Amino acid sequence: MNNSAADKILILIVLYKKSIEESVSYRTLKECIKSQDIRYNLIIYNNSPEYGLTESEDAIVINSDHNGRLTSAYNYARKFALTEGYQWLLLLDQDSELSDDYFSCLSEFLQSMTDDSIVAVVPKLVDGKQVLSPRRISSVGWWENTLRHTGIQRGRVVAFNSLSLLSVNFIQSIGGFSDKYPLDMLDHWYYNQIYLQRKKVYVLDCIINHNLSFQNYEREVDLGRHTEFLEAERLFVKELGLRYYVGYKVKLFLRAIKQYLIFGDKRYATITLKKLVGKDL
């Protein structure tokens, strides 16, 4: 390989109230990638001004002076990648447990990829037997279904931010990561752009265990965060059009009933119902 950045990937880990050494993503990345033929550079973006991180020998450390959520970190990495000539940007949250199998699959893809219309590459993220990501969005409404196969996907597909390997040129072509979605639904937004631009998503034949905070909603998501998520979701679904918005309203109603029946704190259901009828929160 030559020494240009074109045959390397830029990896971004976004930290929030954690040190570098406390990040599962960082520890497993350093352990697993060293056995693979992958050239990379690493940016660690610290979104907690009160947690000033020291410089690292094997990463570029950015200490943000405010919590700009995901968009600030992602757009910083996008601009860096574009300036330095990187073709791919790999997004990681702070607690993704990476594996040798993932990097083996990723290395194989990078060495054999010839289809320029592929602009996103992801593994399957699972929690037990449930596939969390990627998912296929129905063509008739706001419903998500499990993907049945690996390789190139057809139709409207969405995957989590973490473990998304994205084409830098494609993200640049859509104006970067949208400020309309600083945290929630940002992944839905740019995967929808992939669909609208008739580009392709490639699913690797490997599985990563993933612990999703929304799986333990009442314990992990406070009322403020719940409200923010609902607003971002509403904003995004409105972009998809009327038939998706109608399906979203039905789904929101069913979600409110479930929250009322199951959650100890009924305020979650109340906030969801207010969003359903369009009241300000």
Sign of the torsion formed by the C-alpha atoms of 14, 127, 90 and 139: negative
Q: What is the mean pLDDT of residues 182-202?
A: 97
Q: Residue type at 167? A: S
Q: What is the pLDDT of residue 279?
A: 58
Strand ranges in the chain using DSSP code E only, listed in sequence order: 8-15, 39-46, 60-63, 88-92, 118-127, 130-133, 135-137, 144-146, 151-152, 157-158, 165-167, 200-209
CA distance 101 to 241: 39
Q: What confidence category does residue 148 fall into, taking pLDDT thresholds of 50, 70 and 90?
A: confident
pLDDT per position as a tens digit, 94-147? 988 899 999 999 999 999 988 999 999 999 998 888 889 999 998 877 888 888
Dihedral class, residue 195 (left if φ above 0, else alpha if ψ from -120 to 50, else beta): alpha
Q: What confidence category does residue 46 fall into, taking pLDDT thresholds of 50, 70 and 90?
A: very high
In contact, 236 and 249? CB cutoff 8 Å: no
Kind plus residue range of the DSSP H or E element containing 21: none
Instruction: Name the 3-class secondary structure at 225.
Output: helix
Is the pLDDT at 196 greater than 70, yes or no? yes
Domains in the chain: boundaries? 5-211, 215-277
pTM (2 decimals)?
0.93
Q: Classify domain 5-211 at the CATH class level.
A: alpha beta
Q: What is the mean pLDDT of residues 152-172?
A: 95
- Provide the token pair at 193: 């752009």
Q: What is the pLDDT of residue 277?
A: 86
Q: Which of 56-70, 152-166, 210-224 has the lowest mean pLDDT?
A: 210-224
Is the pLDDT at 71 greater than 80, yes or no? yes
Range among 27-41, 44-58, 178-192, 265-279 with highest mean pLDDT value: 178-192
Q: What is the pLDDT of residue 113?
A: 87
Q: What is the mean pLDDT of residues 23-42?
A: 90
Is the pLDDT at 265 greater than 90, yes or no? yes
Q: What confidence category does residue 269 fall into, taking pLDDT thresholds of 50, 70 and 90?
A: very high
CA distance 267 to 197: 40
Q: What confidence category does residue 267 fall into, taking pLDDT thresholds of 50, 70 and 90?
A: very high
Instruction: Name the 3-class secondary structure at 160.
Output: coil
Q: What confidence category does residue 212 fall into, taking pLDDT thresholds of 50, 70 and 90?
A: low
User: Which has the closest alpha carbon to 18: 117, 71, 93?
Assistant: 93
CA distance 155 to 136: 7
Counting every residue, how long is the chain? Answer: 281
